[in-house]
């Protein structure tokens, strides 16, 4: 046999033993759990025939603690390809190989992808299905995680980083996803926790299931860790691709423009009646969003967490935008700790990746209460203030109804840095609502009145007429224009066009000190 023949034989035998790892038995084990294999996931993710694998033969080749860790690929598939025609890097952990656990070689492969993605200015996606740090590799696996975390931080705000949890993510393994921009979870088959049910039982003597402790439902509704949940892996990957379509590949590019048949001069008369006449009546702000954006399509982030604020991606005349909207349907649209953090983080993402921010405002104020004060609404509300004030992308606000007190300031008011601030005629802008204002300013008169209820009503109406209306803010320049709601889409598109070349110079500093 000639030299080349020998080399080829060696290659084939390596390749065959590599493929053995993807045996029918292993595939069936994964399928039995309602999961796809790492290869199947990659096939769904990338445009057909574009995926290129890197480091397929990388191996730890060691035996530790009586357990072999020798497996080609070391339990993770890494590479690159095109997603909807654009370059992206991926690492997909393979639970069928040592439980997808992370050893030194496994970590080195992920780190290579992170470094390449950053160099090429392309998104990186982690498909996570792993028992965490590989126990038998000890500190080397912990060091591997540290290297990944450092690169997550280095790449933050430079390239989009997205984590998709498709099985276990246990222990410190949850922290790489937590450092990335968005976390997807698949219902019922994925879970994330720092310490699992066994440890909870040992330390606290509490019984809790995997699902209750760290399943997709828990993280999308209670903890706010998961931004998106889909019912199965196919839909999770479709959701991920849809999300990516709103983003540029890196912070030096603009988001891709998507042609639309929805016209820029569409006048939407239904918007005139959407806010109820009774100021205490709720409505769904998502109905407003639907009527404004291209083809009524938007993608909501963390829709089941802090639902008193809606944050979503959408398009206006083909351009990606991020929308932050108070939701009067939930907690009357008040700002609380969770909604402040949710919106602040969303703003930081949009600002990093050149996505203009549109604020639709209807907020009676911060949520009052001992719980909120003691849990630090001052600290957390400041995050939202900071995020708005610090962002330099085009920022436009439309006040739909209430805009009271500190919440007026926070929600991208003119003096906080709003580029265009519009208000609907139904807007109420003041230091506080009519009832509170009357109770403070007319305390004595109300106490002495024979019919305090009637007097209060009259004074509240007078307050609305004289103080809490948008025309006063308009006269003073805090509102640029009181607009006909039917023209909201037209006004926003024109404002965005005017802001196309917005450029802001910020003072030199290492970084600001965001109230974390
Ligand atoms: C080595 C592991 C492993 C690990 C699983 N395996 N986790 N091998 N290190 N961390 C192996 C198993 O030995 C088994 O090998 C195979 O993967 C499949 O695991 P099973 O337990 O049979 O699967 P399942 O019943 O589905 O349970 C999945 C699991 C469980 C819940 C994830 O494996 C588990 O509890 N693993 C340990 C989780 C954990 O505590 N990790 C460390 C966290 S600390 P065989 O050969 O039998 O097929 C951490 C620190 C990070 O991650 C630090 C960063 C700051």
Residue at 285 is within a domain: yes
Query: In this structure, are 117 and 146 located in the same domain?
Result: yes
CA of 14 to the centre of ligand 1 (A): 26
* Average pLDDT, 10 consecutive residues per value, the chain (516 residues): 56 73 84 94 97 91 72 93 98 94 96 98 97 92 97 98 96 92 97 92 94 96 98 98 98 96 97 91 97 98 98 98 98 97 98 98 95 96 98 98 94 97 95 91 93 94 90 94 98 98 94 96
CA of 405 to the centre of ligand 1 (A): 51
For ligand 1, atom 17, the nearest C-alpha belongs to 99
Residue 406 to residue 422: CA distance in whole angstroms = 18
144 lines ligand 1 (CB under 6 A): no
Q: Provide the angle, in degrees to the nearest 10, between the axes of the packed helices 377-390 and 337-352.
A: 20
Query: In this structure, are 461 and 483 located in the same domain?
Result: no
pLDDT of 16 reads 77
Query: In this structure, are 43 and 135 located in the same domain?
Result: yes
282 lines ligand 1 (CB under 6 A): no
CA of 130 to the centre of ligand 1 (A): 7
Query: In this structure, are 398 and 308 located in the same domain?
Result: yes
For ligand 1, atom 1, the nearest C-alpha belongs to 134
Residue at 478 is within a domain: yes
CA of 386 to the centre of ligand 1 (A): 40
DSSP 8-class letter at 304: T
Query: In this structure, are 157 and 288 located in the same domain?
Result: no
For the record, the structure tokens of 450 come out as: 């024979």
CA of 237 to the centre of ligand 1 (A): 24
Residue at 252 is within a domain: no
Is residue 302 flagged as an active site residue?
no
Q: Residues 133, 169, 226, 407: which is the catalytic one?
A: 407
For ligand 1, atom 24, the nearest C-alpha belongs to 99
Q: Residues 79, 171, 333, 381: which is the catalytic one?
A: 171
Query: In this structure, are 113 and 81 located in the same domain?
Result: yes
Query: In this structure, are 197 and 281 located in the same domain?
Result: no
103 lines ligand 1 (CB under 6 A): no
Helix, strand, coil content of the chain in percent (nearest 5): 45, 20, 35
pLDDT of 4 reads 54
Residue at 254 is within a domain: no
Q: What is the CATH number of the domain that holds 274?
A: 3.90.226.10
Is residue 314 flagged as an active site residue?
no
DSSP 163-221: EEEEEEEEGGGGHHHHHSSEEEEETTT-EEESS-HHHHHHHH-----HHHHHBHHHIII
Residue at 209 is within a domain: yes
Number of domains in the chain: 3
Residue 371's alpha-carbon distances to 108, 179, 305, 343, 375, in angstroms, are 45, 28, 18, 20, 6
Query: In this structure, are 392 and 303 located in the same domain?
Result: yes
For ligand 1, atom 33, the nearest C-alpha belongs to 131
Is residue 407 flagged as an active site residue?
yes
Query: In this structure, are 212 and 285 located in the same domain?
Result: no
Query: In this structure, are 194 and 55 located in the same domain?
Result: yes
For ligand 1, atom 47, the nearest C-alpha belongs to 98
Range of the domain at 439: 434-467
Query: In this structure, are 51 and 19 located in the same domain?
Result: yes
Residue at 43 is within a domain: yes
For ligand 1, atom 6, the nearest C-alpha belongs to 99
Q: The pTM is what? A: 0.94
Is residue 171 flagged as an active site residue?
yes
131 lines ligand 1 (CB under 6 A): yes
pLDDT of 1 reads 43
pLDDT of 7 reads 57
Best residue among 132, 178, 199 to mutate for probing ligand 1's pocket (most ligand atoms within 8 Å of CB) is 132
CA 347 vs. chain centroid, Å, equals 9
CA of 68 to the centre of ligand 1 (A): 15
Residue at 255 is within a domain: no
Query: In this structure, are 299 and 402 located in the same domain?
Result: yes
Q: Residues 121, 196, 406, 436: which is the catalytic one?
A: 406
93 lines ligand 1 (CB under 6 A): no
CA of 185 to the centre of ligand 1 (A): 19
Residue 447 to residue 439: CA distance in whole angstroms = 10
99 lines ligand 1 (CB under 6 A): yes
Residue 206 to residue 425: CA distance in whole angstroms = 54
Q: Which of 31, 66, 305, 340 is nearest to 167 (CA)?
A: 31
């Amino acid at each position: 046999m000639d030299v080349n023949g020998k080399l080829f034989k060696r290659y084939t035998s390596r390749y065959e033993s590599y493929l053995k790892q993807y045996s029918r038995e292993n595939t069936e084990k994964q399928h039995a759990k309602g999961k796809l294999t790492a290869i199947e996931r990659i096939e769904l993710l990338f445009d057909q025939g574009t995926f290129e694998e890197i480091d397929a033969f990388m191996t730890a080749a060691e035996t530790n603690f009586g357990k072999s860790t020798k497996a080609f690929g070391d339990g993770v598939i890494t590479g690159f390809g095109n997603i909807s025609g654009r370059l992206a890097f991926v690492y997909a952990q393979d639970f069928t190989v040592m439980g997808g656990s992370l050893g030194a070689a496994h970590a080195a492969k992920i780190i290579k992808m992170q470094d390449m993605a950053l160099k090429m200015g392309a998104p990186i996606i982690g498909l996570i299905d792993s028992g965490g740090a590989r126990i038998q590799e000890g500190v080397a696996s912990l060091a591997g995680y540290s290297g990944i975390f450092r690169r997550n931080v280095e790449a933050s705000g430079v390239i989009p980083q997205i984590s998709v949890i498709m099985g276990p993510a246990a222990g410190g393994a949850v922290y790489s996803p937590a450092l990335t921009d968005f976390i997807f979870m698949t219902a019922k088959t994925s879970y994330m926790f720092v310490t699992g049910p066994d440890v909870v039982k040992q330390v606290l003597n509490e019984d809790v299931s995997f699902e209750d402790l760290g399943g997709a439902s828990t993280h999308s509704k209670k903890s706010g860790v998961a931004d998106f949940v889909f019912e199965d892996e196919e839909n999770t990957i479709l959701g991920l691709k849809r999300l990516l379509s709103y983003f540029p590949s890196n912070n030096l590019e603009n988001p891709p423009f998507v042609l639309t048949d929805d016209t820029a001069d569409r006048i939407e008369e239904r918007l005139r009646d959407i806010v109820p006449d009774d100021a205490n009546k709720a409505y769904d702000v998502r109905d407003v969003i639907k009527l404004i954006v291209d083809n009524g399509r938007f993608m909501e982030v963390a829709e089941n967490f802090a639902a008193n604020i809606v944050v979503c991606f959408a398009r206006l005349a083909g351009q990606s935008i991020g929308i932050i909207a108070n939701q009067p349907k939930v907690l009357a649209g008040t700002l609380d700790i969770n909604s402040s953090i949710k919106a602040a983080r969303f703003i930081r993402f949009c600002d990093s990746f050149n996505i203009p921010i549109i604020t639709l405002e209807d907020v009676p104020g911060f949520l009052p209460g001992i719980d909120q004060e003691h849990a630090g609404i001052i600290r957390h509300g400041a995050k939202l203030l900071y995020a708005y004030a610090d962002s330099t992308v085009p920022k436009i606000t439309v006040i739909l109804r209430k805009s009271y007190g500190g919440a007026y300031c926070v929600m991208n008011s003119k003096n906080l840095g709003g580029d265009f601030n519009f208000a609907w005629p139904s807007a109420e802008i003041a230091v506080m609502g009519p009832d509170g204002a009357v109770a403070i300013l007319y305390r004595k008169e109300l106490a002495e009145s024979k019919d305090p209820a009637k007097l209060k009503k009259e004074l509240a109406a007078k307050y609305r007429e004289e103080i809490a209306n948008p025309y006063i803010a308009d006269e003073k320049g805090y509102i640029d224009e009181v607009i006909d709601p039917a023209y909201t889409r037209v006004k926003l598109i024109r404002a965005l066009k005017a802001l196309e070349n917005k450029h802001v110079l910020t003072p030199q500093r290492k970084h600001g000190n965001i109230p974390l």
